[in-house]
Amino acid sequence: MEFLNNFVLPQSAEHIELLHYMLLILLFLFIPFISIVFGGTILSIIYDKKGSKENSDYHSRLAKEIIEITTINKSVGFILGVAPVFTAIIIYSQLLHNSEITNLNYLVLALLSVTVALIFIYSYRYSLSFNNIFTSISKKDLSDRIVLEDVNKLSDESHRISKKAGIFGVVFLFIGLWFFVTAITIPSVYTNWNADSFIVGMFSWDVVSRFIFYLFFALTLTGGMILFTFLEDEKKKRIKDEEYSLFVKQKIIRVTFYNAVFIPLFLLIILFGMPENSLTGTVFTYSIFSLILLFFGYHFLYLLTKQIKGTTAALLFFALIFSIAAFIISDQKAMMTSTKFHSAILSAEFDNYFAELKGEGIIIEINAAELYEVRCASCHKWDQKLVGPAHNDVLPKYLGNEAQLVAFIRNPVKIDPEYPPMPNPGLKPNEADAVAKYLLETYESRK
């Protein structure tokens, strides 16, 4: 994806943070939507097959209603299914500019697969509705036998084609989502940055466990959404067939339950598999929050098995939506932590670029404290290690040896194996002098 690098502008630290939040919002839109489309298509295909096999009208009707509920309509499919992946490519290429992380290839493949998948899925959806028209014609008491036969034949043919489209759609979406999950997982998991190869990246345990988690969540969320929409429709009295209504509720509650039970297991696997670098307090808190919301979801699901009520279904659906949102935040926080080092390099590049734009060479009074805040404080604290060591631990050896400190700041060398190497902060000689003096003086005065 070399060409993407050419589009990228240097970003200030504030912009980088903003990009992280944009990414978060985009995932909030994309992940729930695409999960529901995925789950809805699978359920619809299964019920449609059952409907044909057992000649059960209820199953066929449910198949059609599910795909209509879950795919909303074509334009929503494009806005929530394709546009976010495209935007994610642009954001990631900014955030990970010049890094060794190679998640853009996966994202581009995800974009292609998801687009193809949605085309198939929407053809499935519209042809299924179309198909129902045939079925209803052939059910009418047609006096002309020949016409009836023709209509039946046409109906079978169109049904066969629509089923194929549905299956292709699911397969492409499955692959597309796998690429997507790989792409968003790699930057969150520091140790995976240098995945040995394209395939190893996809099959690494971090990626696979997240992918399975998302699959179970997709089906659970789909169940929640169907129950919610279905009960809403019922409230508005659009569905009058009591027996059918009971059939749907029982089926969907069961599907939702069987998928929901596996989620906590994978959530914990993901959490405990996270490398120490990424697993901060915030990440942990959001994951636990996600788990708690999920347990609320279980509770509402349980209530639904006792008594079917619209408000309970709504609560179930929202508990699930917020649970997945909390998980997304947790994963993105992990990414912010593991790319912090890289972000600091990028914003240092920005500062250089900006200084060049302003025109250097003019003697400006150097404000060492400010320079330190901007260039160093993102990685260092005085009494606590951050990305780099605490100053209090390393400065003693430079007391009375300022020149060596200046040399290190101007051209950092690898020192402590516990830390990654410090990137060159790109200071000019006089700036490095000022910062070194500032560090030693502050150290003395803090004693």
- Concatenated DSSP letters for 245-313? HHHHHHHHHHHHHHHHTTHHHHHHHHHHHS-TTT--HHHHHHHHHHHHHHHHHHHHHHHHHHS--HHHH
Q: What is the dihedral of CA 409, 410, 413, 417, to 10 degrees?
A: 30
Q: Does 389 interact with ligand HEC (rule: CB under 6 A)?
A: yes
- Rounded to a whole number of angstroms, the minimum distance from the CB of residue 9 to ligand HEC is 20
**Stretches 42-50, 51-59, 325-333, 384-392: which one binds ligand HEC (CB under 6 A)?**
384-392
Based on CB atoms, which residue is closest to ligand HEC, 184 or 435? Answer: 435
**Stretches 5-13, 181-189, 225-233, 409-417: which one binds ligand HEC (CB under 6 A)?**
409-417
Q: Does 408 interact with ligand HEC (rule: CB under 6 A)?
A: yes
Q: Does 223 interact with ligand HEC (rule: CB under 6 A)?
A: no
CA distance 233 to 410: 68
Place of tokens 């630290």: 13
Q: What is the dihedral of CA 318, 323, 326, 331, to 10 degrees?
A: -140
**Stretches 102-110, 146-154, 350-358, 411-419: which one binds ligand HEC (CB under 6 A)?**
411-419
* The amino acid at 102: T
User: Which tokens sit at 149?
Assistant: 């036969």
User: Which tokens sit at 198?
Assistant: 């394209």
CA distance 163 to 156: 11
Characterize 194-231 residue by residue with b for buried, 16 or more Cβ atoms within 10 angstroms of its Cβ, and e for exposed: ebeeeeebbebebbbbbbbbbbbbbbbbbbbbbbbbbb
- Rounded to a whole number of angstroms, the minimum distance from the CB of residue 434 to ligand HEC is 10
- Rounded to a whole number of angstroms, the minimum distance from the CB of residue 282 to ligand HEC is 20
- Rounded to a whole number of angstroms, the minimum distance from the CB of residue 273 to ligand HEC is 25
Give the Cβ contact number of residue 102 at 10 Å: 17
Q: Does 376 interact with ligand HEC (rule: CB under 6 A)?
A: yes
Q: Does 414 interact with ligand HEC (rule: CB under 6 A)?
A: yes
- Rounded to a whole number of angstroms, the minimum distance from the CB of residue 339 to ligand HEC is 11
User: Which tokens sit at 416?
Assistant: 């402590």
Binding mask of the shown chain, residues 309 to 348, with x at each position contacting ligand HEC by CB under 6 A: --------------------------------x--xx---
Q: Does 267 interact with ligand HEC (rule: CB under 6 A)?
A: no
Q: Does 443 interact with ligand HEC (rule: CB under 6 A)?
A: no
Which residue in 178, 243, 179, 183 sits closest to 211, CA to CA? 178
Q: Does 425 interact with ligand HEC (rule: CB under 6 A)?
A: yes
**Stretches 16-24, 109-117, 322-330, 383-391: which one binds ligand HEC (CB under 6 A)?**
383-391
Residues 264 and 272 sit within 8 Å (Cβ to Cβ): no
Based on CB atoms, which residue is closest to ligand HEC, 163 or 375? Answer: 375
Based on CB atoms, which residue is closest to ligand HEC, 23 or 409? Answer: 409
Q: Does 420 interact with ligand HEC (rule: CB under 6 A)?
A: yes
- Rounded to a whole number of angstroms, the minimum distance from the CB of residue 16 to ligand HEC is 12
Q: What is the dihedral of CA 282, 287, 292, 297, to 10 degrees?
A: 140
Single residue of 64, 159, 380, 410 touching ligand HEC by CB under 6 A: 380
Residues of this chain that interact with ligand HEC (CB under 6 A) are: 341, 344-345, 375-376, 378-380, 387-389, 394, 408-409, 414-416, 419-423, 425, 427, 435, 439
